[in-house]
Chains A and B, each alone.
Chain A
Amino acid sequence: MKKSQIEEGIVKGFMLLSFSLVVCSLGFILVTVIVKGLPALNLDMLIQTPKGGYYLGKEGGILNAIVGSLYLAGGATLLALVFSLPIALFLKTYSRRKWWADYVRLSLDILWGIPSIVYGAFGFTLMLALGLRASLLGGIIVLALLELPIMTRGMDEVIRRMPIDMEEAAYALGATRFETAMHVVLRQMLPGIVTAILLAFGRGIGDAASVLFTAGYTDRIPNSLLRPVASLPLAVFFQLGTPFPEVQNRAYAAALVLTVIILVVSLGSRWLSARMGRYTIK
């Protein structure tokens, strides 16, 4: 056997080893969360809000955090969508100057890189300036800031892939740019857009650092935008911080719930985009 072939084999072995290391660490994380979380999980946790003494190990559940997280991430995703869809459509249909589009994309990329804790600190000072207290509204706004670049860049990447012929066919038929955007680009790229929205939702629901100061924490399910709201990541974080093993076990259960939500969102986005893909022109 030649030296080069031996080298080939060794390197290939290392590659397989590294790749299985990456896959195994994913498995390790999931197994850890399931093994620790499943024994502590029960139905009461999912359908009850904390009762008195919950954080000492007494009765109750984390419904407040589950609903709160869905409110926060849902509201933030809607708010981010209102701004990100126009930006993505503008970049595809309206933008005639390339430098402007490049520059918008660059600022989105930079925004994406801003750590969520910085958004959290910024959001908190913003709320102080506006006289708001920690509330659902504050959490939604900060999460929307976090989700905006993720969602917009996600949409932009898929919308860019649309063949130019299709757009030109619409223009040739006399459609305006707005009509092309709404009836051609949006329809054709809907699967990718839905994927981007759900990706942003997943990021929003899992983020703890940005809602730490802006959304607060409460045992109730909020009935107004100005009330504080609990969230799953913070439920995990706070319950882990207590000295009682029972409460810590509930943190593991909450982490499992959060992971399951993320898995469902991720699988759901794949399923949805495959399903919607049927109605696009290949």
Chain B
Amino acid sequence: MKARRVLQPIWFSSVLLPFLNRRVKDRFVGGAFFLITILPFAILLVVIVSLILRTQPILSAHSIGELLTGQKWYPLKGQFGFFPFIAGTFWVTFMALILAVPPCLLSAIYLSEYCRPRISAVAKPLLDLLAGIPSVVYGVWGMVAIVPLVQVFSSHVNKWLGFIPLFSKNNPTGYSILSGGIVLAVMITPFIIAVTCEVLRTVPDGTRLASLALGATKWQTIKYVVLPQTRSGIFAGVVFGASRALGETMAVLMVVGNVAKVPSSIFDPAYPLPALIANNYGEMMSIPLYDAALLGAALVLLIIVLFFNLISTIALRHIIGRSKI
């Protein structure tokens, strides 16, 4: 041992060797890993701060209230009203939720309470696949399959139910809130089902057995015992689904029509915030304040999504111990 030490150059034993020591290495790596764990929060901070900074020019030219409630979007005239886009975002998202939530909850109850293990073992990969399909492919599906269906559907509904304001407009193209909502509904289905299944699993089996032992049917047990206990968790799951839907870009952009007007019927076209950014970014350099306005749109979108996402994440963290699937 001593002989080997003599052969080593001095910098090796005094400078490098301590780092090769197992315990020093352990601490060194620990420190490095710790620094990397700061990264997620740092990214979050940088994204928010840089969007706020880049939005500054338009905030100094217009007031926030004017931007958020303004109805007119004429970048060439310097008019930037986000209201039609915010309204479009919420219309499409609500449409998707209305269509998605009932089947999702029933499917989740079926998968976690009723069906045989073999079926739920098959269902999980299928739902994962549904979650993994790229949004552009959803968009293609929407354009090819859903838009023509909505086109036919809207003319019929308009003929018979046109007196109801929600169905009042006739849109001959089919590119509408309903199309966007249908595509989005399918996209958020796997998320809502997965979260709801997790939430239902938090109810202890003993509770169910107690109810069944009293002579309740399976559905009565779910209705009077399981669902009341999990109401808040299911709500959080739906909010989580909404937060995914709000930010969805490509699929919605391809089927929703992109007309910058506040919609009033489900057959109206809409222009959600993500579509606004995607359609116009890159060509905004020549018009003053345009890029600040688009980054403002990104900031508004981010704030809306973060609000929904934070609520659902924190609630689910309390309810199922972890937040996502």
Contact = CB atoms under 8 A, between A and B. Distances in A.
A18 B102 contact: yes
Nearest to B28: A178
A11 B137 contact: no
A8 B310 contact: no
A106 to B, nearest CB: 7
A258 interface: yes
B26 A255 contact: no
A275 to B, nearest CB: 16
Nearest to A123: B47
A16 interface: yes
Contacts of B218: 8
B220 interface: yes
Size category of the binding interface on chain B: 35 or more
B298 interface: yes
Contacts of B128: 266
Given A121-B295, A149-B40, A21 B103 contact: yes
A128 to B, nearest CB: 9
B170 interface: no
B133 to A, nearest CB: 6
Interface string B291-325: 00011001001100110111001100100001110
B217 interface: yes
B249 A83 contact: no
Interface string B146-176: 0000000000000000000000000000000
A18 B44 CA distance: 38
Contacts of A55: none
A254 B302 CA distance: 31
Contact of B44 (A23, A87, A111): A111
- Most B CB atoms within 10 A — which of A111, A112, A121, A263? A121
B186 A111 contact: no
B219 A11 contact: yes
A25 interface: yes
B40 A12 contact: no
Interface stretch (B68-76, B79-87, B105-113, B202-210): B105-113
B219 A12 contact: yes
A118 interface: yes
Contacts of A118: 47, 51, 247, 298, 301-302, 305
Interface stretch (B5-13, B29-37, B260-268): B29-37
Contacts of A107: 40-41, 44
Contact of B140 (A33, A125, A205): A33
B118 interface: no
Contacts of B295: 121, 125
Given A91-B37, A206-B134, A213-B281, A252 B249 contact: no
B134 A262 contact: yes
B53 to A, nearest CB: 9
Given A104-B41, A116-B247, A15 B22 contact: no
Contacts of A32: 140-141, 144-145
A39 to B, nearest CB: 13
A76 interface: no
A203 interface: yes
Contacts of B244: 113
B281 A207 contact: no
B65 interface: no
Given A87-B33, A90-B37, A115 B248 contact: yes
27 contacts: A15-B106, A18-B103, A18-B104, A19-B107, A23-B126, A29-B130, A87-B39, A105-B322, A111-B40, A113-B313, A114-B247, A114-B302, A114-B306, A115-B246, A115-B248, A118-B51, A121-B281, A124-B281, A125-B295, A148-B39, A148-B43, A203-B132, A209-B278, A237-B136, A240-B139, A258-B137, A266-B132
Interface of B: 22-23, 25-26, 29-30, 32-34, 36-37, 39-41, 43-44, 47, 50-51, 54, 102-104, 106-107, 109-111, 114-115, 123, 125-130, 132-141, 143-145, 186, 189, 193, 216-220, 243-244, 246-250, 254, 274, 277-278, 281-282, 294-295, 298, 301-302, 305-306, 308-310, 313-314, 317, 322-324
Given A114-B247, A121-B298, A199-B132, 13 more contacts: A15-B107, A15-B109, A19-B103, A29-B186, A32-B144, A86-B36, A113-B247, A178-B25, A206-B134, A237-B136, A259-B133, A262-B129, A270-B125
5 A-B pairs closest in CB distance = A115-B247, A206-B134, A113-B309, A176-B26, A18-B103
Interface of A: 4-5, 7-8, 11-12, 14-19, 21-23, 25-26, 28-29, 32-33, 36, 83, 86-87, 89-91, 94, 100, 103-122, 124-126, 145, 148-149, 152-153, 157, 176-179, 199, 202-203, 205-209, 212-213, 233, 236-237, 240, 251-252, 255, 258-259, 262-263, 265-266, 270
